[in-house]
Amino acid sequence: MANISKPKRRQLNYSDADHLNKSRLGVLGGSGLYNLDGLENIQELKIVTPFGDPSDTLQLGTLGGMEVVFLARHGRDHTFIPTEIPYRANIWALRSLGVRWIVSPSAVGSLQEQIRPLDIVIPDQFIDRTHQRPLTFFTDGAVAHVTMADPFCKSLSRLIADIGESLMPEGRQLHIGGTYLAMEGPAFSTRAESNLYRSWGCSVIGMTNHTEARLAREAEIAYASLSMATDYDCWHDNHADVSVEMVVENLRANALLATKIIKAIAKRIAYTRPKSPAHEALKDGLMTAKEKVPVSTRHRINLFTSPYWGDFKLHETNYLKD
């Protein structure tokens, strides 16, 4: 059993986050995954960011020889609906702790017959149907345009797929590629919506990953999804409509497998430290000249822009509190 320390103060060091050989793996736990079994030497870190408080304290520990930062996106007591999740604070906090890869285990509904409940999908595309989310760090006098043609990191997704295939239990399949339909929630789809998304060729439906992926790209973090099917949404005539009970039962079955896969991923990343185009996403994306950016905005986004604009110190401070 890992020892969990009290929340402690930690001095931020921007330069550490910019070297892959010192960087950490982030895990954003979704519904049913509120702690990461096997995480050792855990420190509980409370972080206040320029974008507010994250969903919960962050757990920094080691897993498979890799330093890993775990955060429950809905909070460990599942107190945030998808719209209320503080996405910007979560991603900023992870980046401030040197995270340069994020694996996102998430509950999804299947929109295709061949993707059965308890199967896993490693999607490669999104369609966004959310409408109440902050989708960028760059506002208030600073503009950046990052490429999202391939919203998931290809190298990280490929690594997850290779590992996942070797660990899938008999009777369950891992599907490589597919489109994740991001909906607002928190209610599940209507039958008409579900069939519309099927007609678009979407593979799975969820409520969180698209927002995270866009912000992670701006934060120059490689992001990939471990989309774990819990149900057939409501389109399938021969299966019961999606319900909380059905989802929760399958979430329990998925949690053990997700943890096993994440541990193997951590071991592999500790050895390979895969480079991603996402790690330089802002290189050609910053549009506003730095001298034109308001001081308060420059300070807020310094974590991301310092490799290109130089470190900006409004005053000696950090965003950690006791």
| Active-site residue (options: 56, 128, 231, 322) | 231
Q: How many residues does the chain have?
A: 322
- Tokens standing for 266? 């951590």
CA 200 to chain centre: 24
User: 309-315 long-range contacts, Cβ below 8 Å, gap at least 24?
Assistant: 311/14
Q: Is 37 labeled as catalytic in the residue annotation? A: no
- Tokens standing for 242? 């999606």
Cβ within 8 Å of residue 238, ≥6 positions away: none
Q: CB of 160 within 8 A of CB of 122?
A: yes
Distances (CA, A) of 109 to 161, 172, 194, 251: 19, 15, 10, 12
Q: Is 128 labeled as catalytic in the residue annotation? A: no
- Which of 262, 230, 252 is CA-nearest to residue 68? 262
- Tokens standing for 5? 């320390």
| Active-site residue (options: 77, 233, 284, 322) | 233
Dist CA 83 CA 74 (whole Å): 10
Catalytic residues: 231, 233
